[in-house]
Amino acid sequence: MRILVTGGAGFIGSHFVRTVLAGERAGITDATVTVLDKLTYSGNRANLDPVADHPGLTFVEGDICDEGLVDDLVAGHDAIVHFAAESHVDRSIHGAKPFVVTNVLGTQTLLDAAVRHGTGRFLHVSTDEVYGSIETGSWPEDWPLAPNSPYSASKASSDLLALAYSRTHKLDVVVTRCSNNYGPYQFPEKVIPLFVTNLIDGRNVPLYGDGGNVRDWLHVDDHCHGIALALTGGRAGEVYNIGGGTELTNKELTGLLLEACGVGWDRVDYVADRKAHDRRYSVDITKSANELGYQPRVPFDTGLADTVRWYTENRNWWEPLRAKAGL
């Protein structure tokens, strides 16, 4: 299988690429991978260092909005796995234009090229944030979309666009929607690496509002497991939720990170809540379990301990990124 992976130098995309080339993704054998990545602030060639010399990897630095480049690349591939996106809610609140351009227009550029070249499968990686917020229960895939941030609105738009291409052009599209990811190589503006690296450096951590916002936590390897299952076994035109099965309030998560780093609550600064901060996310993975055989496999306590250890041992990876981003 010849796979074009957009955003393949980012956190989740690079994990997918590394594990595919290592032969660790069920159903994907003898794959060659082309990574297309713009290498914006969160894209990092170092994320691909473990497979940099793999004969099956080709890296192309470029923009998914570049129609000519995208057309040339799509022509030589059997499948597209589309990770590339602007994905930080706080950044989208301060300036939404890059989110609309990359997440909507970039996706449209890829979809048009896939139609022209008859791509065998277009897997669009999305987020549970498109559903909005839910007080109780969990979202099934047919739940109405109600995004509350510019980021989630741009992702919902790209979801609908991809599904429309499936219906209009009969393009083989599958959409996955994941819960909050964590694991190694995650850019240190996200909550778990931000808190861990702050605590390692002797700094305090910021906790929004009352800390009662609830998220479902998904290890990046479980997410990539689900993506591989959807890529090889999902039905065209369908959406599949990929969840981790561990719901925590932000305050509970903070307590676990403080404990893991051996510090106390005096290292926490309570800060004003961000705008339109969704209270709770929870995805129903019944469909993914029944149709794809998906279940999360990494216990949260093990995954979190491994993640904290990774950041503790890999200061040379995250310290330059923090400095460059002004974190």
pLDDT in tens, 99-109: 899 999 999 99
Do both 161 and 190 map to the same domain? Answer: no
Residue 272: Cβ-neighbour burial (10 angstroms; 0-12, 13-18, 19+): exposed
Q: Is residue 6 part of a domain?
A: yes
pLDDT number for residue 52: 97
Share of the chain above pLDDT 70, in %: 100
Backbone angles phi, psi at 192, to 5 degrees: -65, -55
Q: Is residue 33 part of a domain?
A: yes
Q: Is residue 37 part of a domain?
A: yes
Do residues 43 and 119 touch, judged by C-beta distance below 8 A?
no
Do both 227 and 207 map to the same domain? Answer: no
Please provide the DSSP assignment of 64-76 as one string.
Answer: TT-HHHHHHHHTT
**C-alpha–C-alpha distance, residues 240 and 238, integer Å:** 7
Q: Is residue 291 part of a domain?
A: no
pLDDT number for residue 89: 76
**Could you confirm whether 135 is annotated as catalytic?**
no
pLDDT number for residue 174: 98
Both tokens of residue 303?
């995954």
pLDDT number for residue 258: 98
Options 63, 128, 221, 278, the catalytic residue: 128
> For the segment 67-100, what is each residue's pLDDT rounded down to a tens digit?
999 999 999 899 999 999 987 677 878 888 988 9
**Could you confirm whether 66 is annotated as catalytic?**
no
Tell me which of 242, 257, 287 is where a domain ends.
242
Neighbours of 26 (CB within 10 A): 12
DSSP state of 235: P
Do both 320 and 194 map to the same domain? Answer: yes
Q: Is residue 260 part of a domain?
A: yes
Q: Give the domain CATH number at 49.
A: 3.40.50.720
Do both 192 and 96 map to the same domain? Answer: no
Strands (E), 57-120: 57-61, 79-82
- Say what the pTM is: 0.96
DSSP state of 249: E
**Could you confirm whether 151 is annotated as catalytic?**
yes
pLDDT number for residue 93: 80
> For the segment 100-155, what is each residue's pLDDT rounded down to a tens digit?
999 999 999 999 999 999 999 999 999 999 999 999 999 999 999 999 999 999 99
Task: Find tokens 């969704």 and name the residue.
Answer: 278
Do both 89 and 194 map to the same domain? Answer: no
Do both 207 and 143 map to the same domain? Answer: no
Do both 113 and 141 map to the same domain? Answer: yes
Q: Give the domain CATH number at 267.
A: 3.90.25.10
pLDDT number for residue 242: 98
Do both 106 and 48 map to the same domain? Answer: yes
Do both 204 and 69 map to the same domain? Answer: no
pLDDT number for residue 133: 96
Residues of the chain with pLDDT under 70: 88
Please report, for residues 215, 259, 286, 314, the alpha-carbon distance to residue 240 in angstroms, rounded to integers and kept in the order given: 18, 34, 9, 34
Q: What residues make up the domain containing 104?
A: 2-181+219-242
Do both 264 and 129 map to the same domain? Answer: no
Options 63, 131, 141, 151, the catalytic residue: 151
**C-alpha–C-alpha distance, residues 32 and 54, integer Å:** 9
Backbone angles phi, psi at 10, to 5 degrees: -85, -175
Do both 109 and 28 map to the same domain? Answer: yes
Q: Kindly report the length of the chain.
A: 327
Q: Is residue 16 part of a domain?
A: yes
Do both 85 and 114 map to the same domain? Answer: yes
pLDDT number for residue 274: 79
Number of domains in the chain: 2
Q: Is residue 144 part of a domain?
A: yes
139-149: string of b/e by CB count within 10 Å (b at 16+)?
Answer: bebebebebbb
The residues near 201 (Cβ < 8 Å, ≥ 6 apart) are none
pLDDT number for residue 276: 75
pLDDT number for residue 94: 82
Q: Is residue 36 part of a domain?
A: yes
CA-atom Rg of the chain in angstroms: 19
Q: What share of the chain is helix, strand, coil (3-state, %, to 5)?
A: 45, 20, 35
Options 63, 129, 216, 221, the catalytic residue: 129
Both tokens of residue 225?
């497991």
